[in-house]
Amino acid sequence: MRAVYLLTAVADLCRLERTTGSHRLQSALSHLWGNMVDCEMYVTGGIRSIKQWEEFGIDYFLPQGTDKGGCYSEMCAATGVMKLAQRILQVSLLHCISC
């Protein structure tokens, strides 16, 4: 959950610094977004986290039952994913307009 909200702040920073060149931040944001969507997200849109630490686990480890750690997906993290997706869309649109 904390990582998603941190990435939301990074996306805001990319949007604010679009004229000064935030290419490194944008590429890092794109990489981390891709990893989260490809390796840490259930088909329902929930993101996998380890219950004890509320952090991402091993890539592609998405247990389906409670015997392997359960399907732990937080509502706060889902809200953060929506906010992050909105910010990334705004950054992408600004990039397309300026090109």
For the segment 43-94, what is each residue's pLDDT rounded down to a tens digit?
Answer: 888 887 666 666 677 888 777 766 666 666 778 888 999 999 999 998 888 7
Give CA–CA dist 47/62, Å, rounded.
Answer: 9
* Whole-number pLDDT of residue 1: 80
CA distance to 42, 53, 54, per residue, from 14 (Å): 27, 28, 26
62 and 48 in contact (C-beta within 8 Å)? yes
Radius of gyration of the chain (CA): 15
Instruction: Return the DSSP state at 58.
Output: S
pTM of this structure: 0.79
The reported pLDDT for the residue numbered 85 is 94
Q: Confirm if 35 and 58 have CB atoms less than 8 A apart.
A: no
Confidence class for position 9, pLDDT limits 50, 70, 90: very high
Q: How many degrees, rounded to 5, is the angle at CA 89 between CA 55 and CA 62?
A: 30
